[in-house]
Structure 1
Amino acid sequence: MQLNITGNNVEITEALREFVTAKFAKLEQYFDRINQVYVVLKVEKVTHTSDATLHVNGGEIHASAEGQTCTLPLMA
């Protein structure tokens, strides 16, 4: 699985990268054919948004969540 993490108004630190990687590694239990994952973390004023697009064999899965910290939307 290739994981691409982008930040808009967010610095992608090594700790944040490890957190995101660990969260998406758990998905491999359910989808054994995840080809690529694109994660975009955004901050707009006080709203933190996480968008993820997973490219799997036969389709694409998209998820989006908002929270008060960068990691909170990823915990949902």
Structure 2
Amino acid sequence: MKLGDVEGYDLLTPQQQTILERTYKLHSQAHGLDYKPLYAVEKIKRVQWDKQEKTVNVYYQHEWYHYTSDGCWY
């Protein structure tokens, strides 16, 4: 499965898709081996642009994050 297969990806603009892809890569690399499976692409239920926060919201099976244009997540 690729990020492009995640529900909502096709509704993001190219710029928003870049935010998602770049920040997902950083987020995924930040986790140790024990936690990597929790953040696999397959664990993402959907993504959605948040106009107010100007972030891509990424909804995993167990929690969700805002992904920012500067490569951070919270």
Relative to the length of structure 1, the TM-score reads: 0.49
Relative to the length of structure 2, the TM-score reads: 0.49
Higher fraction of helix: 2
Larger radius of gyration: 1
Higher relative contact order (CA 8 A, sep 6+): 2
